[in-house]
């Protein structure tokens, strides 16, 4: 399919299913049926069997429509991580049952890997899954689970063989979050929201038909999820100068003369010089950050052109590591540009649980809220230190971190 044909296919969708009058579920359902949800997916499963980079053409055309539903606002974890994992490791029945409502946002997804004693070392997790006929009985606790309070399905990794080395005794499931024994509790953040949750499993019975991959091979499936997570968190390929950097530039234009009173005719010479110097420093910071944002955008574009369906390569770790730290620096500069005004938190600390599927990291206002939320960027989805290890080992070819427990049975490894 040529680029012109693909663009026309999107235009036909918008013409036939008016995004202004159709609901999110109707429009995105039609988008899925026409193979325009993930064009690199097979036909009949939301795609057209094209290269992943062709999705940028689809997204570009959809943004021209009167109304546009961004994947990361509809079902960020399901679309960014769940869909490629189900496609790569699920059965045909799972493909046809799960992919369409996942993409439309009718069924929200969450990811349940981290535990109180297994954060960066995910393979050290302790949640148990014991086979019982054609079901698995799961007991344990997961933590930092975004959107678990809204989710219908959760990606769950549990330990099915405690006597195997930690990476080889795991099994991966798609867990129905409405099953008896699943308990979700809020975890409140410094923003006053409980975007994250802790999830408890008490004798939860999961059908074997909801297992992804072979028993004991859950780590291989989890790698697919983790690599796609880093691609999703690293960001897509937005328009030049858009997104968070556009917020900073707009704030600079609005506030750049905030100290003009100190530079007036009646101001002291020292005050004038200080105000002018401050403005020059902030201007340079804004320009430097805009340049870094553009470099990241182009890097993500290159990563997308190199990507393949299924398990992406380490390129996603580049985008994730850079974008996490860049977001923090942009918000820090934004606070400085706006001055005392940016210190106000009009909402207070509401102690609420967000009902929208949209990830909190994509809500840009008020600035202080984004600033506080961005503190988590270098932790979630793999810490900045873990990302550097991955890049050092898999991209630069540096020696691996020592792994003294690699072949030790999990049950023999000391734990807190």
Q: Please state the φ and ψ torsions of residue 195, each to the nearest 5 degrees.
A: -70, -35
Q: Determine contact, residues 140/201, Cβ cutoff 8 Å.
A: yes
Pair 222, 175: CB distance under 8 Å = no
User: Between β-strands 153-159 and 109-112, what pairing exists: parallel, antiparallel or unpaired?
Assistant: parallel
Q: Which residues of 113-123 are buried (b: 16+ CB within 10 A; e: fewer)?
A: bbbeebbeebb
Distance, C-alpha 206 to centroid of its chain: 26
Residues 6+ apart with CB under 8 A from 395: 314, 318
Cα–Cα distance between 21 and 27 in angstroms, integer?
A: 9
User: Which distant-in-sequence residues (6+ apart) come within 8 Å of 154 by Cβ?
Assistant: 109, 110, 111, 112, 145, 148, 174, 175, 177, 199
CB neighbour list of residue 407: distance below 8 Å, 6 or more residues apart: 165
Active-site residue set: 229
Residue closest to 173 by CA, chosen among 126, 125, 141, 221 = 221
SS3 194: coil
Alpha carbon distances (Å) from 334 to 244, 282, 330, 331? 10, 10, 6, 5
Cβ-based burial of 268 (10 A; exposed 0-12, middle 13-18, buried ≥19): exposed
Cα 254 to its chain centre, rounded Å, is 31
Say if CB 176 and CB 190 are below 8 A apart.
Answer: no
Four-point Cα dihedral 137, 143, 144, 146, nearest 10: 20
- How many Cα atoms are found within 13 Å in the side-chain-facing hemisphere of 221? 29
């Amino acid at each position: 399919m040529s680029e012109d044909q693909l663009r026309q296919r999107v235009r036909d969708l918008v013409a036939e299913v008016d995004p202004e009058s159709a609901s999110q579920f109707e429009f995105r359902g039609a988008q899925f049926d026409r193979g325009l949800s993930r064009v690199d997916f097979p036909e009949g499963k939301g795609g057209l069997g094209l290269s992943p980079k062709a999705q940028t053409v689809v997204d570009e055309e959809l943004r021209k429509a009167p109304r546009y539903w961004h994947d990361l606002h509809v079902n960020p974890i399901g679309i960014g991580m769940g869909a490629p994992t189900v496609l790569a490791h699920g059965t045909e029945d799972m493909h046809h049952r799960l992919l369409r409502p996942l993409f439309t946002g009718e069924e929200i997804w969450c990811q349940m890997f981290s535990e109180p004693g297994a954060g960066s070392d995910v393979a050290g997790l302790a949640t148990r899954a014991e086979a019982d006929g054609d079901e698995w009985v799961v007991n344990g606790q997961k933590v930092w689970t975004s959107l678990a309070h809204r989710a219908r399905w959760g990606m769950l990794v549990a330990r099915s063989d405690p006597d195997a080395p930690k990476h080889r005794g795991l099994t991966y499931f798609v867990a129905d979050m409405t099953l008896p024994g699943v308990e979700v509790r809020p975890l409140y953040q410094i923003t006053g929201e409980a975007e994250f949750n802790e999830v408890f499993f008490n004798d939860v019975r999961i059908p074997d038909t909801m297992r992804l991959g072979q028993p004991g091979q859950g780590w291989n499936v989890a790698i697919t999820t983790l690599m796609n997570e880093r691609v999703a968190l690293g960001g897509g390929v937005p328009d030049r100068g858009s997104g968070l950097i556009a917020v900073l530039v707009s704030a600079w234009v609005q506030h750049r003369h905030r100290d003009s009173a100190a530079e007036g005719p009646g101001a002291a010479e020292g005050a004038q010089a200080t105000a002018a110097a401050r403005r020059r420093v902030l201007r340079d910071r804004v320009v430097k950050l805009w340049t870094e944002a553009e470099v990241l955008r182009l890097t993500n574009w290159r990563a997308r052109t190199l990507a393949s369906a299924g398990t992406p390569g380490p390129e996603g770790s580049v985008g994730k590591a850079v974008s996490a730290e860049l977001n923090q620096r942009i918000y820090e500069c934004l606070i400085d540009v706006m001055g005392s005004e940016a210190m106000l938190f009009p909402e207070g600390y509401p102690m609420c649980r967000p009902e929208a599927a949209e990830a909190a990291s994509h809500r840009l206002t008020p600035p202080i809220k984004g600033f506080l939320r961005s503190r988590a960027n270098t932790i979630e989805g793999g810490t900045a230190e873990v990302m550097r290890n991955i890049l050092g080992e898999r991209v630069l070819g540096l020696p691996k971190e020592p792994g003294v427990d690699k072949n030790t049975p999990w049950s023999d490894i000391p734990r807190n």
